[in-house]
Structure formats: structure tokens, C-alpha cells
Structure 1
Amino acid sequence: MKLATPYYLIDEARLLKNLERIQLVREQAGAKSVLALKCFSTWPVFSLMRQYMDGTTSSSLYEARLGYEEFGKEVHAYSVAFAEEEIDELSKISDKIIFNSVTQLKQFAGKTGQLARGLRLNPQVSYSEYDLADPARPYSRLGVVDIPPPEVTELISGAMLHYNCENDDFDNFSSVLEEIGERYADLLHQLDWLSLGGGVFFTGDDYPLGKFIEKLKAFSEQFDLQLYLEPGEAAITESTTLVTTVLDVVHNERDIVIVDSSIEAHMLDLLTYQEKAHIKGGSPSGAFHYIIAGRSCLAGDIFGEYRSDIPLRPGDQLQLADAGGYTMVKMNWFNGLKMPSIVVKRLNGRCDTVKTFSYQDFKQSFGTDAFAHNGGFG
């Protein structure tokens, strides 16, 4: 049966390719990996992912709860700032809690009991092509810049450094890690564990995984540390497509194809960073050249360009590649457009529709039934 579009299609076979590389790093380097839920929280595939990963890392109470309830294994809780009322619940469900500031570490040290506490450090070096996502940008609030003094160090058993964004350059990773080892040498020798954060694309086909493993293993042995990685995009890259249907083709100097989706609502990260979607299929030298656009009212709701040997018509399907990371966690109700369903293609080839959205989901996002029919207004 043909599935109604739009929908995200998660292919477990493609997901498995990333997971096996993550497992190889775990086995040969000893570095554990915890899934970054801020990138990907689609828990109907956690049953597969937990076989190859060590747990989850979160940026909020709700993400920590999701990791605890649906992934299991280790739960790392981090937030730029915790609210006081969140700490009691986080202490019950987390294995490690990582504070963003010395102030909050001291404030909540007594309430976190025997929980493994960590502190986020800002090494003031980073890899990011986008200032918006650069954790070491000027005046960054992300992590502690100064090396913690002894009275702070005694409150923690580990630390976290998240300083990479889409880093596929091993030489850069290696040199910065050496710089970190030199700067924090005294502190690292006192810690039990260190998270190197996410943003390293070590599951890519061209990435020198052997060198990466050797580097991690040597660093771990040098400081006698349990290393953690926090893959988000690296765990799910190339595993998911956004399947859309052509609704119309209009012309304004160029042929413009309008699909039943929206970059603003369904692939927001691309709009935020002014990137174009990768559209599967087509022909680079095709005679028919199109702009692929979403159907929201935003003038810049453009996925990208597409060439084809045959003309596109209403009813044709287009697939937007690599649509797993920072999409489902960011999709929204802009223009009241129906959110894409979430479909999982299992390892045995069966397709399971694990989530659909309806008008009631849209309506209840902005109020409850108690306010229906003007009952709560006027």
C-alpha cells in the first residue's frame, strides 16, 4: 500500500551501518557512545540502537526522561541551566549529571548525592563553519572557561567538552585533542571520565576510523580516563529520507515545483543554516531544471534545485536525503501544515508507521478541550 506523504522514512539497514562503526570504536578504543537526543529522539528505533550504544545524553529533563524510559542503559543529564525543581527528578533517573557552570555545580552538589557529577569545560577552541553553532564563539555561555580550582574539582568525577560541529577533519580533531590534553593535563589526571561531546563525523565512509580509534585509545590510556562520545548526527546520518509528493508546478522565470512539505516546518535546520536539501534521484544534466519549494507562505521556503530527464508532474514523489538529524525534534505547526508521519523500515524489510499527526494534534498544541467552543474565552 502506498503511504500518504509527507513522511520521514528511517531505514534500519542504513542506520545499522553507522551503529556498527560506533560499536567498533567502543570495542577497539574503549570509548563509549551515548546518543545525543537533541539531534534524534525517535524512540521506536531505540531497540536497535541500544544494542550498539551505551545510553543517551540529554539537554533537558524531558530528554533525560525519554532516555531513561525508552533507551535504558546510561543516562547523562546536561543543561545550560537546570531549574531547581528539576534536580530531584533528574537525580532519580540519571547516572551522570553535568553542570554548565561552577555556580550551579555548587548550588546542587548537595542535592545530587552519590550521583556522578561533571562540569562542562569551554576550551575556547572549536570546529564549526557556523558562528550560530560555535560553542567557542565570543561571549559563549557554554561551559567554564577557567580551569577549575581544587575546591571545584573535588565535587566532580568527570567533565564534558562539546566543541565540534560537523567536524569530518580528523587532523583537526587530533591536533585539538592534543591541545586539550596539554591545557587540562593536571585536571584530567584527577578525573574518572571525560566526554568529548558530539559533532564528530566519524561514521562517514571516508573518515579514517583506524586513526580515530588509535587517537582515542592513546588519550584514554595517557590520562587513565573512560572516554565518552556523544554522537547525534553521526549515529543516524544517511539513514532517513523525507518523502514528499508534488502538488503543483508554477512558473516565474523558472519552473518551480511545490511539494506537500516545508523546509520551515519539517527541515528547519537547513533554513537556519541556509543550506540546501539533497534531493535523491534526478540527473545532473537533465533537460528539465526545477526549483523545489515547500508549500508554506514563507517566500524563502526552498529545498533546493533538481534536474530531471523527464518532466515532474503533480502526484510524482521526491525524496529529500539525510533527513534524520535535527528534523523530527524541530518540526513544527507553522501554517498549520500537517506534520510528516514517521515510518520505520525494519531490518526485515517491513515498514511500520510509528507516528501520525492529525488536526487534533494541531489543535491541542495550543489549548485544551476545556476551552473548546469559546468556553474559555470572552
Structure 2
Amino acid sequence: MDLSKVNTPAYVIDESVLENNLKIFKSIETATGCRVLLATKAFSMYTVYPLISKYLSGTTNSSYHEAKLSSEEFGKSTHIYAPAFDPDTFKKACKICDTISFNSLSEWHRYRDLIPKTTKIGLRLNPQHVEVSHKMYSPCQPGSRFGVLKKHLQDDDISGVDGVLIHALCGNNEDSLERLIVAIEDQFSDTISKDHIKWVNLGGGHMITRKGYDVDKCCELINRFQDKYNVQIILEPGESVVLNAGVLVCKVLDIVENSMDIAIIDTSAAAHMPDVIEMPYVPELKGASKENRENSHRYRLGGNTCLSGDIIGEYSFDAPLNIGDKLVFEDMAQYTMVKNTTFNGVNLPSIYIYKQDGVLELVKSFGFDDFKRRV
């Protein structure tokens, strides 16, 4: 990819990497008969929805806006789940979604008479099984607002429910999936054994495209569960669909010194890659090392906002940085575009696609009007 053609800051989606990820998910669908849905909360770049829809069975959405975008641009099956539904937007969602999952029994009772007869109904369950150490991303941590507990399910008739949603993972491998299935069976085997339960949605957080993930083991677990309970498994990956398929390109604006060399770049952790601050973590940078290597040139990279903590991380380079140098942060497709802000009035990054034929295509660019529209 010719970086000279990229106007910074910019996200660049690599079509080839994306398609290779999609082929892995398609192989799982073929081997098991399960369904794989794109979790649009992680990635809603609808320009590539036609490519994704060639391989996946549909989308899962966390709001009416996500669902409407999916309905218009993706097609196929459109699922929706939210911690709670607004009455007005729920009515609109009923017109475009073929599956609606509720977070609580009370909300299902409140809305079920409004749902078209052709719409499938799901109920989120909470197995109280924790596989994620970071509380920010742990769906089943103690005190979680997500899903129905076993003790609240026992005295309720859920015969009108077609399937259950159980989301407990975030960035996990197949060993976590195996333990989750054990927990599900321990908590909810009576529920999922009922004749009216036709599917079990195991949510997202499955890092299926990550190096070292045992896809064969995943398929084995899915097939065993489906055969045992006569249900269809649904997976809702987000991050792993676009893993390593996107980069964030920026350039060095200035270099200052304060105890160490600090490069100020034309992007922002706070505005353009918020998980860097929220987790926190230090992203990989092409051609640089996060380790403090001997005989290298060490820089702290800071964003171009007035937030003191707008720091991406510290990196070692083989050569000194110069003003105007372009830098490439790796694995930046997920939870970036969908979480961007215009804090400080900084420009939203442009969006490019690096096509399989080597063509770099500008999809969108942003400016003052986008900032003004939001404030």
C-alpha cells in the first residue's frame, strides 16, 4: 500500500484480510450448520457489507439505528438485542428485524403482544460464569445488568420464546467456549431442552480468526451441543470478523522533549481509538517495537488534543522520527469508527478500502460540517 496516497488521519480496511477472516467463519457454518452473524456494534462500515454478506448469515444489532443500517445495506437476517428498548424505536425495530431478543422477563411481557407473529423471540440468560478478567468487558460479572438469572427463570412460563442468547465472552479462545458450555448446561439445561427452544445464541467474543485458535475444537463443541439439545447454535463475532483487517494511518506533526522525546501525531487515542484509554492497552505500530530496545530511538506518541492523558504509548524505532513521517497503527478496524468522537473539534479520520486488486479507494472523508452537525 502506497502511504503517500493516504490523507491522514485515516482508517484503511484491507479487503483481502477481511475476506480471509470471513472464509474461516464460512467454514464453521459449513462444518456445523450453525449461523454466524456480524456484531455491528464492533464494525458498521457498510461499504463492505456486500462482501461480508457473501459469507455470513446476517447481522446482530444493539440499537434501532444499527438494525436499520443492516436492513438497508446488508440484507439477510437482522437480529436485535438491547439492554432495554425505547417504546417508540421498538415499534420501528419490529418492522425490520426478524429476531428480537429481550434482556429481561418483564420487558418481554411488556412488548410481546406488539411483535409480529413471524418474528422470532429470544431471551438473554446470564449463567453467572466469568471468563473475562477486565470488568469493563465482562458481561457476566457479579452485579451485571445483562440477562435473566436462573433463580428468576424458574417460576415463569417462557413457552413463547424461540431461543436464548448467552453472551459471556470477550476476546476468548475455544477453551473458554468449552467452559462456558459446561456452565450453560449446569444452569440452564432444563430450559434449552424444551421443545420450543430452537436456537442457542452464544454471543460474541470468540477470537476464531486469531492465530492459535483451534477451529476444529470449536466445531466439535458446536456439533456436540447441537446434537445433544436439538438446537441450532448462533455465533455473533464482531472483533474477530475484522481482526487485523484495518489500520489507522497518521503523521507526525511535531516532536518535543520532556524527559524523553515525544512525537505529537494527527490522530487521538481519546477520539479515534478510545479502547487504548478505556482498557487500557498499547496498540501495535508497524515497524516499531513497544519494548525499550538498546541502540534504538524511543518516542512517546501523543494525540493532538488538549487531554493530558491522550497518550497512545511508547515505541522504539530503528531510525529517528521526522516531522511529516507517516505511522501505521495495526488492527484498528474494530471499535474505532463506531466509537469515534469529534472531541476538541479534531477531524474524524477518512475511510479507505485497500482493494484486492491493489487499488486504494477513498470511501469517506470528513470536515467542519460533520463537527458542526454533532454539536
TM-score bucket (shorter structure)? over 0.9
Do residues 12 (structure 1) and 15 (structure 2) align?
yes
Contact 1:166 1:199 in 2 (8 A): yes
Give 1:375's aligned residue: none
- State which drifts further: 281-290 or 189-198: 281-290
Q: Shift of the alpha carbon at 1:150? A: 7.0
Do residues 255 (structure 1) and 258 (structure 2) align?
no
Give 2:150's aligned residue: 146
Give 1:272's aligned residue: 278
Give 1:235's aligned residue: 241
Q: Shift of the alpha carbon at 1:127? A: 1.5
1: distance between equivalents of 2:266 and 2:37? 34
Q: Which runs of 4+ in 1 moved over 6 A?
A: none
Letter in 2 for 1:6: P
Give 1:159's aligned residue: 164
Give 1:213's aligned residue: 219
2: distance between equivalents of 1:86 and 1:176? 33
SS at match of 1:344: strand
Which of these residues, 344, 362, 365, is aligned with residue 371 of structure 2?
A: 362
Give 2:321's aligned residue: 312
Give 2:300's aligned residue: 291
Q: CA-atom RMSD, angstroms?
A: 1.3
1: distance between equivalents of 2:183 and 2:317? 48
After superposition, give the CA deviation of every residue in 1:102-153 in whole Å (9 maximum; x if it has no partner). 0110011110031110100011002212112211222211111126347532
Q: Shift of the alpha carbon at 1:166? A: 1.1
Q: Shift of the alpha carbon at 1:216? A: 0.7
Do residues 92 (structure 1) and 101 (structure 2) align?
no
Which of these residues, 41, 44, 49, is aligned with residue 46 of structure 1?
A: 49
Contact 1:102 1:152 in 2 (8 A): no
SS at match of 1:307: strand
Give 1:174's aligned residue: 178
Do residues 186 (structure 1) and 190 (structure 2) align?
yes
Which of these residues, 321, 330, 333, is aligned with residue 342 of structure 2?
A: 333
Give 1:37's aligned residue: 40
SS at match of 1:118: strand
1: distance between equivalents of 2:187 and 2:223? 19
Q: Point out where structure 2 has 5 or more consecutive residues left out of the alignment.
A: none
Taking only the aligned residue pairs, the percentage that are identical comes to: 36
2: distance between equivalents of 1:180 and 1:16? 32
Which of these residues, 347, 351, 361, is aligned with residue 342 of structure 1?
A: 351
1: distance between equivalents of 2:79 and 2:60? 5
SS at match of 2:101: strand
SS at match of 1:119: strand
Give 2:110's aligned residue: 107
1: distance between equivalents of 2:228 and 2:72? 35
1: distance between equivalents of 2:200 and 2:356? 34
Letter in 2 for 1:307: S
Do residues 73 (structure 1) and 76 (structure 2) align?
yes
Contact 2:150 2:188 in 1 (8 A): no
SS at match of 1:354: strand
2: distance between equivalents of 1:241 and 1:303? 15
SS at match of 2:356: coil
Q: Shift of the alpha carbon at 1:357? A: 0.5
Do residues 198 (structure 1) and 204 (structure 2) align?
yes
Contact 1:87 1:112 in 2 (8 A): no
Contact 1:87 1:111 in 2 (8 A): no
Q: Point out where structure 1 has 5 or more consecutive residues left out of the alignment.
A: 367-378
2: distance between equivalents of 1:273 and 1:232? 17
Letter in 2 for 1:41: S
SS at match of 1:5: coil
Aligned residues: 365
SS at match of 1:109: helix
1: distance between equivalents of 2:280 and 2:42? 18
1: distance between equivalents of 2:156 and 2:302? 56
Q: Shift of the alpha carbon at 1:282? A: 2.6
Letter in 2 for 1:251: E
Which of these residues, 112, 136, 141, is aligned with residue 132 of structure 1?
A: 136
TM value normalised by structure 1: 0.94
SS at match of 2:31: helix
SS at match of 2:176: helix
Contact 2:350 2:366 in 1 (8 A): yes
After superposition, give the CA deviation of every residue in 1:16-38 in whole Å (9 maximum; x if it has no partner). 12111111110002221111111
Letter in 1 for 2:112: A
After superposition, give the CA deviation of every residue in 1:155-206 in whole Å (9 maximum; x if it has no partner). 20001001001113x2232122122123211211221011000011111121
Give 1:371's aligned residue: none
